[in-house]
Amino acid sequence: MTARDAGDRIVLVCAIDNLTKGASGAAIQNMNVMFGLPQTAGL
């Protein structure tokens, strides 16, 4: 018997979040300040 039997599987899920970095995150934060919302809303 091997370390991996037939039928075994590995599921890998990855999510990359670049919204909070760079100009797009800064734009959302500035818009929230302009409208009186919490700075982290929508991030």
pLDDT tens by residue, 1-43: 456 666 677 777 766 665 556 777 788 888 989 999 988 887 6
Tokens representing 7 are: 């039928």
pLDDT for 41: 83
pLDDT for 15: 64
pLDDT for 14: 66
pLDDT for 27: 85
Q: Count the neighbouring beta carbons within 10 Å of the beta carbon of residue 37.
A: 13
pLDDT for 36: 92
CB 39 within 8 A of CB 33: yes
